[in-house]
Amino acid sequence: MALEFSQASLKRFDEIVGRYPKKEAAMLPVLYLAQKEFGYLGAEAIEYVAGIMGVPAARVYGVVTFYTMLNMKPIGRHHIQVCRTLPCALAGAERITAAIKAKLGIQVGETTPDGKFTLSEVECLASCGTAPMIQVNDEYYENLNEQRVGEILDKLK
């Protein structure tokens, strides 16, 4: 069966589109909604969003591939994103990445076999004064060291 929004998401879709002076401006919030509902934005999801937004699928594909927070592939339940940019690097971000790799047994860009964790390195997250830091899904964890990052991973279900 082809992908489509639930009734609740369709209602939300109408609310989102209604907020903007033009429908196409709602592209990013609609893609967030689709990503939340479908888990990731694969070819089917892109086709579906193109249909309800009334634009060619190529345009949606261009948008999805442009932004780092829109995922074309499934990712783990907890997306661990280590900031690697200069202020975090000066504060030891590489040691944080190494500790996570060792603990989870995966490399950057990989997902644990149980689908629980995906590890990524990302660019500056505006948390330079509390470096090093990671973002796990929507949460920031700041002022980290190897021990604290281990404790954070242990608490994630």
Point out which residues bind another protein (CB under 8 A): 19-22, 24-29, 31-32, 53, 55, 59, 62-63, 66-70, 84-87, 89-92, 94, 122-131, 135, 138-140
What is the nearest approach in angstroms of another protein to the Cβ of residue 23?
Answer: 8
In angstroms, rounded to a whole number, what is the distance separating the alpha carbons of residues 135 and 133? Answer: 7
What is the nearest approach in angstroms of another protein to the Cβ of residue 39?
Answer: 16
- Whether the CA torsion 109, 138, 46, 56 is positive or negative: it is negative
Closer residue to another protein, CB minimum distance, 55 or 152:
55
What is the nearest approach in angstroms of another protein to the Cβ of residue 131?
Answer: 6
Question: Strands 139-141 and 117-122: what pairing?
Answer: unpaired
Residue 138 burial (C-beta neighbours within 10 Å; 0-12, 13-18, 19+):
exposed
C-beta atoms surrounding 121 within 10 Å? 17
Closer residue to another protein, CB minimum distance, 131 or 153:
131
Q: How many residues does the chain have?
A: 157
What is the nearest approach in angstroms of another protein to the Cβ of residue 1?
Answer: 28
Closer residue to another protein, CB minimum distance, 75 or 128:
128
Look up residue 111 and give its DSSP letter: B
Question: Tokens at residue 87, please?
Answer: 């202020």
What is the nearest approach in angstroms of another protein to the Cβ of residue 96?
Answer: 12
Closer residue to another protein, CB minimum distance, 27 or 104:
27
Closer residue to another protein, CB minimum distance, 110 or 140:
140
Q: Largest Cα–Cα distance of the chain, in whole Å?
A: 50
